Structure formats: structure tokens, C-alpha cells
Copies of this chain bind each other. A is one copy, B any other.
Amino acid sequence: MSIRFEVTARDGAARRGRLVTAHDDIETPVFMPCGTAGTVKAMTPEGVAATGARVVLGNTYHLMLRPGAERIATLGGLHRFMNWPHSILTDSGGFQVMSLAARRTIAERGVTFRSHLDGSLHELTPERSVAIQQLLGSDITMALDECTPFPSPYEAVESSMELTSRWAERSRRAFADRPGHGIFGIVQGGVHPDLRRRSAERMIDIGFDGYAVGGLAIGEGQATMFTVLDATVPLLPEDRPRYLMGVGKPADLVGAVLRGIDMFDCVLPTRSGRTAQAFTRRGTVNLRNARHADDPAPLDPDCGCPACTGYSRAYLHHLSRAGEILGSMLLTTHNLQYYADLMVEMRAAIERGTLAAFGAAFAEAA
């Protein structure tokens, strides 16, 4: 296999593992911060790494439009471009293109769409998506998929899932194997167990370095998402990493790890950091709220991040009210630290065989 994955401990359906790419060892279960347009917003790469992160996400859609994949390749690849020496997973561009709605047309060959930046016309095929991700120098490439909105008619989800399967086969064929680099297939099928099963079987037939579960956290609700995971995850190979795309809230992560998911990404911690929302062990805190104006206490006394060790809630409140960039910087740092620490705790719980208890205590505290 192009990238190595080893499971080092199990606890129920949950797994403790290690993913070895060309750039780094990634301890799993792992949360991957979003480096959308070649930067984890409001963070230096050093700051991202200081939270413990060893893999970030890059967005094919954003980077192909600006500054362009060929340009990044000429400049030495995305790792060098954004000064990130650790691993990078890139998405296929499919999800963002799908959300362009009226601005795109789907055909068997691929998707044509108009850029949200300047209206220019672009085409994204499975082959082009893989080529872009290889130009970026991604450690983990994602196969191009189509994701139907929720809710959608069964027939629409079925034909979309089948298109995704055909695109997956073309993506796999277009991907040039290299040591330390891999490609993941994406299981679709909406909330329908039989479609998820067919999709999973098809992906396994094609054979990928890892398997993603796509098309969730788009409005179906946590209970339904967990039901889909209960039906889907057991179908995936034991010896390959499993990635739940675009998820999620802390409680989503805990529930999904309990169900055997190894990898996550979500804009929630970074986006929340720019809107004064902070995650803590005692729930979510809105720093813009006036009750923090005179509070000398740290945001989270149990957190060791720079925002919590150096500043009061009163100061973070002041920064958010004044619209100061440092507010976004500190709260993004904190939120990424919170997510990283949550994963550290879950990894430790799996090793000790106590993840169920951890999950129960977590649900209690939230």
C-alpha cells in the first residue's frame, strides 16, 4: 500500500492507530484542521503544529481557482507554498462544486462550473481532480464524488451514488501510486443503508488506501448520522483508515470514534474562532457576551493553550467587541487545541479500554 496504516489498539468498534505518510506519522483517531486556501485561517503553521496537529486539509476547489494548481506545483508544491512540513490531505473539489448549485452542470464526464471569484468557466473531472491533487503534492488524495443534498429522493441519491462509483473508478485509475501517498474512496448513499452498502462494496472492489464516509452532517441530524455510521462503518475494511468528511461538533466526533471512525475534518473550530465562539470542557462560550466583560478568569482553566494561559475572558471579550484580529488568532488557537486535546483523550481512552465511559462522561458534561 502507498500509505501505511496500523491499528495499535481496539476498544469496542473504536480503533487507535497510526497513519504513516510521506511527511509524517499521524496518530489516529485524528482531527484535521482546514487549511482551505493554503492557510489555516488566522493561524501560522507553527501555531497549528503547536496544537499537536500533523495533518491539515487543503481544498482543491479553492486552490485550483486561486492561485492555481500548476502555479503551486511550479513553486514546489503546497507543503512548501504554505510552509507546512507535515501531512496534507486534499479534498476532491466535489463538495464545494456541488454547493455552487445554479452555477454548475453535472455530466458523466465531470462537472463544469463557474468560479465564485470571477465567473470563469472550469471543468472538474475525476482525472483532473486527481491531477490537481498530485500537482499540489497531497499526501492523501480524495476521489471525486457527488454529494446529494439532504433530503433528496431515493432515486436521486441512488443515481448519484452510482455516478460517484464510476468516478471513483476513474479517480483510482488516474492516481499514480507513490510511496507515502495514497488515495481514498468516498462512500455515498445518503441515509439509505442499502445504498451505503452498495457504495461501500463498490469502493472496496475498486480498492483504496482508505475509505471516507461522505454526504453526512448536511442537515440529517446527529441521530441519523450515527445510524448511517452504524450501518456503514462495519462494512469497511478493518485494516484501512476511515474518514468521516466535514464532521463536526465535539459530540459528533466522540460518537463517530465510538463507531470506528479514524479521521475527521471540519471548519467549525476555525470558523467559530473568528466569530468569538469557543469550545470548552464545560460547553460552548460566546466571548462577545457582556457577562465576560469584567471576568479575570481564563477561557478554560483546564486548557494549556496560549489563549487560556495568557489572557482573561475580559480581554478576549474586548478583542471580539473591538473586532481585533488577535481575537480571531487566539480563539482559533484555542479551538484547535480543544479539538486536538479531545482526540488525545480519546486515543488514551481507547488504549485503556475506557472509551465508552469517556463518551458517557463527555455527554454528561456537555
A residues with CB within 8 A of B: 37-39, 41-46, 66-67, 71, 74-76, 81-83, 274, 293-294, 296, 306, 310-312, 314-315, 317-319, 321-322, 324-326, 328-330
Contact = CB atoms under 8 A, between A and B. Distances in A.
Contacts of A293: 67, 71
A75 to B, nearest CB: 5
A276 to B, nearest CB: 15
A314 B78 CA distance: 12
Given A67-B318, A81-B314, A312-B81, A41 B294 contact: no
A328 B324 CA distance: 12
A81 B322 CA distance: 14
27 contacts: A37-B318, A39-B324, A41-B324, A41-B325, A41-B326, A42-B325, A42-B329, A43-B326, A44-B329, A66-B321, A67-B293, A67-B314, A67-B317, A67-B321, A71-B294, A74-B294, A75-B294, A75-B296, A75-B312, A75-B314, A75-B315, A81-B314, A81-B318, A83-B315, A325-B325, A325-B329, A329-B329
Contacts of A74: 294
Contacts of A319: 38-39
B83 A311 contact: yes
A318 B44 contact: no
B39 A71 contact: no
A44 B75 contact: no
Contact of A318 (B38, B46, B83, B310): B38
User: How many chain copies?
Assistant: 2
B324 A37 contact: yes
A54 to B, nearest CB: 18
A314 B293 CA distance: 41
Nearest to A67: B318
A322 B66 contact: yes
B326 A328 contact: no
A326 B270 CA distance: 13
A71 B314 contact: yes
A326 B42 contact: yes
Given A44-B326, A66-B322, A81-B314, 19 more contacts: A38-B322, A39-B326, A41-B325, A44-B330, A45-B310, A66-B318, A66-B321, A67-B293, A67-B314, A74-B294, A75-B294, A75-B296, A75-B314, A81-B312, A82-B315, A83-B310, A83-B315, A274-B325, A329-B329
A322 to B, nearest CB: 5
A305 to B, nearest CB: 12
Contacts of A326: 39, 41-44
A342 to B, nearest CB: 24
* Most chain B CB within a 10 A radius of its CB, from A39, A324, A326: A326
Contacts of A329: 42, 44, 325, 329
Name the 3 nearest CB pairs between A and B, nearest first: A83-B310, A42-B325, A39-B326
A45 B67 CA distance: 31
Nearest to A81: B315
B71 A322 contact: no
A328 B44 CA distance: 11
B306 A44 contact: yes
Nearest to A326: B39
Contacts of A325: 41-42, 274, 325, 328-329
Contacts of A66: 318, 321-322
